[in-house]
Amino acid sequence: MVAFAAPVYPIEKRRGSFVASVISLRVRGDEVNANFVLWAIPESPAFPAHLHGPEVLIIGGTFAGRVERGEEILRPLREFDEPILDMSSPIQYCALQQLYDPFFRKGQHLQYWKAILS
């Protein structure tokens, strides 16, 4: 099990102190992985209907260590502002790796960008 934080914020929150929250996690070492996901929530029973369509910002964080400690370390991501949805929970690492699979069909053209914040 890993601690997983995934608060969902309106896209308007993409500016401001959330960047500082994620950068501050970088100093925690290799136990923490943080990322941003800019996404439009799809029409899916997995999400509340009133959230379908608009673009959102998901500030994701994973802690590979004791779940209780990870929840404490990742808490600032969840408290940056009031999320419109919070998908945070302890989760099996393999399940985390497959979390978005249902939303991307095999063979679909996908784009992936990666950057190192230093």
pLDDT beyond 80 at 93 = yes
More confident residue, 63 or 15: 63
Q: Which of 57-66, 74-83, 91-100, 108-117 has the lowest mean pLDDT?
A: 108-117
Q: What's the CA gap between 89 and 48, in Å, rounded?
A: 18
Q: For residue 46, is it within any domain?
A: yes
Q: For residue 110, is it within any domain?
A: no
Q: For residue 114, is it within any domain?
A: no
Q: For residue 77, is it within any domain?
A: yes
Q: For residue 109, is it within any domain?
A: no
Q: For residue 117, is it within any domain?
A: no
State the CATH number of the domain containing residue 84. Answer: 3.40.462.20
Annotate 45-114 with DSSP letters as a single string: TTS-GGGSSSEEEEEEEEE-S-HHHHHHHHHHHHHSS--SEE--EEE-HHHHHTTTGGGS-TT-------
The predicted pLDDT at position 117 comes to 56
Range of the structural domain that residue 99 is part of: 2-103
Q: For residue 18, is it within any domain?
A: yes
Q: Number of folded domains in the chain? A: 1
**pTM, whole model, 2 decimals?**
0.77
Q: How far is CA 7 from CA 35, 37, 62, 102, in A?
A: 12, 11, 12, 19
Q: For residue 25, is it within any domain?
A: yes
Question: Mean per-residue pLDDT for 22-50?
Answer: 79
